[in-house]
Chain A
């Protein structure tokens, strides 16, 4: 296992974990993170604080979003950060920050609310960001074969059954993402992304 590196040659990398509300993003991150998942808050007005003038009293308004993240040191000199996307669509302003320079994304799906993942899939497909779909197996959720879900979603991306609580399963999902991202480099040229 790679030890904590405090030298200046450690390189940060990141992946994004997307999916609907309560689909298991934080669980996924926590299953493999070397630190307990932390939360960070961002304000939509970070770049443009608006001041409402109400009878002479200045107030600032903001929409804020919290995101969970974790990290794991891998190999020699690399640390992988994993960011959970804000669940609701109105927090799109943060997505650009999250995906910029990311290796790719894992989109988690709950088969009881399969449509919750559509916005994320649309987003990654439009930007050409490599992603895999992980069907997080919840108790009582309908059992579907990965291929069935893949057809329902209409994606070319790999779709796998997984359990966000299990480190082994999360590791397997991340590896699948890397394999997929690597395969995309063979197919696509420099114009593939953005």
Chain B
């Protein structure tokens, strides 16, 4: 992104979030992000970073992928995605892994094992 040391890129990416470091919505690394109809209609009117995210997320990708493809720190991506959630421009799909003691946990693991087997 630029030739500066570790400190220098922090300035610009956080300029994207107006200096904010805490996202409005709690986002796990693997939470999937998908652009909504509202988001598609907003493409022309949003800042370029948000537009890039809305395009990236036309097919659901994870928060961490948004960060990697946008080439911004994870914290910045979380803030930007959270803003889009609040605006209704993207929807989220988090991991549905139940707690280890809960019903359905074992069944889900077996489903994953079966899926791996078929790879």
Chain A residues with CB under 8 Å of chain B are: 1-2, 4-6, 8-14, 32, 38-43, 45-49, 59-64, 69, 71-72, 74-76, 78-81, 83, 97-98, 100-101, 103, 171, 174-175, 178-179, 181-182, 184-186, 188-193
Question: Could you show 7 A-B contacts with beta carbons less than 8 Å apart?
Answer: A6-B60, A13-B95, A38-B65, A40-B64, A75-B111, A75-B118, A190-B100
Binding site for A on B (CB under 8 A): 6-7, 10-11, 14, 19, 21-22, 28-32, 34, 58-60, 62, 64-65, 67-69, 73-75, 78, 91, 93-97, 99-102, 105-106, 109-119
Q: Which of B11, B34, B95, B100 contacts A6 (CB 8 A)?
A: B34
Complex formed: what's the CA distance from A19 to B84 in Å?
A: 36
- Nearest-neighbour CB distance to chain B for A125, whole angstroms, equals 15
Question: Which chain B residues border A103 with CB–CB below 8 Å?
Answer: 97, 109, 112
Question: A11 — which chain B residues lie within 8 A by C-beta?
Answer: 93, 95-96
Is there an interface contact between B6 and A62, defined as CB atoms closer than 8 Å?
A: yes
Which of B21, B64, B102 sits near A48, CB closer than 8 Å?
B21
Q: Which residue of B lies closest to A75 (CB)?
A: B115
Contact of B59 among A6, A47, A80 (CB under 8 A): A6
The answer on a CB contact under 8 Å between A60 and B11 is yes
In the complex, which of the residues A6, A62, A189, A191 contacts B7, with contact meaning CB atoms closer than 8 Å? A62
Tell me which residues across on chain A come within 8 A of B7, comparing CB atoms: 59-62
Q: B73 is contacted by which of A10, A64, A98, A185 (Cβ under 8 Å)? A: A64
Query: Which of A38, A63, A78 lies in contact with B115, CB distance below 8 A?
Result: A78
User: What's the minimum C-beta distance from A63 to chain B, rounded to whole angstroms?
Assistant: 8
In the assembled complex, the CB of A41 is this many whole angstroms from the nearest CB of chain B, namely: 5
The reply to whether A39 and B68 contact each other, CB–CB distance below 8 Å, is: yes
Q: Bound state CA distance, A137 and B21, in angstroms?
A: 42
Q: How far is the CB of A158 from chain B (nearest CB, A)?
A: 14
How distant is B57 from chain A, measured CB to nearest CB, in Å? 10
Known: A12-B95, A38-B65, A171-B119. A43 touches B101 (CB 8 A): no
Q: Which chain A residues border B65 with CB–CB below 8 Å? A: 38, 71
Contact A101 B97, CB 8 Å, known A46-B21, A185-B106? yes
Contact partner, B112, options A45, A178, A186, Cβ 8 Å: A178
- Report the minimal beta-carbon distance from A5 to chain B, rounded to whole angstroms: 8
* Selected contact of B100 from candidates A10, A38, A62, A185, CB within 8 Å: A185
- CB-defined contacts of B31 to chain A, threshold 8 Å: 12
Question: Given the interface contacts A6-B60, A181-B109, does A74 sit within 8 Å of B115 by beta carbon?
Answer: yes
Give the docked Cα–Cα distance between A182 and B96 (Å).
Answer: 17
Which B residues are CB-close (under 8 A) to A46? 21, 73-75, 78
User: CB-CB < 8 A to B110: which residues of A?
Assistant: 182
